[in-house]
Amino acid sequence: MAGGQGGAVAPSQEPGAGELAERVALVTGGPGGIGQAICRRLAGAGTTIVVNHAPWEAAAAQALARELGGASVALPADLTQSDDTRLLVPQAVERLGRLDVLVHNAAVWFREPFLEASEAHWDQVLAVCLKAAFLVGQAAARQMVAQGGGAIVNIGSGAGASYARGQSVFRYC
């Protein structure tokens, strides 16, 4: 999907792609596999991307933002920390002037048997998958209402709908 000048993602020729042109989208969990695909697809439709990343993913997020081209940027926030999470949307708007699309894609899960699961891991899952979705979504909605509209997409996993012996309870988001 990459191409064009300077490695920027080539514009999409798909029907409806023009609806996202000249928009700004914030994608949480941008450096991950699904996050990268979302960022590339949106950038291919002409959207400027804010690639949100955990502090330890800075290099990958910055490389992705450069690949996406245009005014796309990488923006760190530890989504397990409420203060970081609350600041994400205002920082994105400060950098790019608006926010039209939020894709809450960030997730965390642990591979450990239920009887060995720690409360700390459970707290991390809830913070990233639920609390951050609420806090970022609320901040994005406020911004979008002030601008006259926008779209919020929350992504979850179907893994939580099934259980296999020995798997953890942490697979639901």
Cα dihedral: 38, 77, 58, 24 (round 10)? 40
Burial (CB < 10 A; 0-12, 13-18, 19+), residue 154, is: middle
Contact 88, 102 (CB under 8 A): no
Active site (annotated) includes residue 172 = yes
CA-based radius of gyration for the chain = 17
Alpha helices in the chain (DSSP H): 33-44, 58-68, 82-96, 119-126, 132-147
* Catalytic one of 17, 155, 172, 173: 172
Catalytically active residues are 172
